[in-house]
Amino acid sequence: MKQRGQVVIDKILDTAERLFYAQGYSNTGINQIIEEADIAKGSLYKHFQTKTDLLVAYIERLHQLWLQRLEAAVGEVSDPKGKLLALFDHHTKRQADRLFGGCPFIKANDEAYTDDPRFASEIQRVKARSKSFIRTLVEQSGHRQLLSDDELVDTIYYMLEGSIVSASVFKTSAEIQGAKRIIEKLI
């Protein structure tokens, strides 16, 4: 059973996640978060002294959830090459679930305008972790060696990131699935 403090933190972060993604960090006010989380103002400030503290906590938690979901999705596939392709299927599903709103980390990075080094560091950590995850899958894939491991990691990473952006522009999964078909030819 969660402690009362953790329940409040989760309510705040759940609300912040929904609002920051839907309407942006700058367009989301602290009072709106307090109201929609149905908490007292003091409760928010007890756990997050500033809006930037809340933003950093949101990104950190989102990073943990992102990694758990990604590992679970890839873990459902036994074929090593199939695991690489599962990355694209996972992101197709996530984008459809989010109505093709784009990558929450890129959205926050582009929109939050903060010079807090914790924020930039956490966003960079997420993207470095993504590339590292892809690297592990590439090294285990037994791919056709048309590209070196480094080249294939970069290609998959750029195709995945770019196709997510494109999917958010065109509001369709065709871009992500098109990138998947290209990678399938390379592995």
Give tens-digit pLDDT for 19-51.
999 999 999 999 999 999 999 999 999 999 999
* CATH (domain of 39): 1.10.10.60
Q: Identify which of 158, 70, 160, 63 has the alpha carbon closest to the alpha carbon of residue 104.
A: 63
Residues 44 and 74 in one domain: no
Residue 41 counted as domain residue = yes
Task: Identify whether residues 119 and 174 lie together within a single domain.
Answer: yes
What CA–CA distances, in Å, run from 116 to 29, 49, 121, 133?
18, 14, 9, 26
Q: Are residues 139 and 107 in the same domain?
A: yes
157 and 67 part of one domain: yes
Residue 14 lies in a domain: yes
Q: Is residue 54 part of a domain?
A: no
User: Is the pLDDT confidence value at 1 over 70?
Assistant: no
**Is residue 181 domain-resident?**
yes
Percent of the chain with pLDDT over 90: 88
For residues 102 and 139, state if they share a domain.
yes
120 compared with 163, residue with greater pLDDT: 163
Question: Are 107 and 175 members of one domain?
Answer: yes
pTM above 0.85, yes or no: yes
How many domains would you assign to the chain? 2
Domain interval for residue 138: 59-186
Cα–Cα distance for residue pair 137/139, rounded to 1 Å = 5
Is there a single domain that holds both residue 73 and residue 110?
A: yes
C-alpha distances (whole Å) from 41 to each of 30, 32, 65 are 9, 11, 26
User: In CATH, what number is assigned to the domain containing residue 118?
Assistant: 1.10.357.10
Q: Is the pLDDT of residue 84 over 80?
A: yes
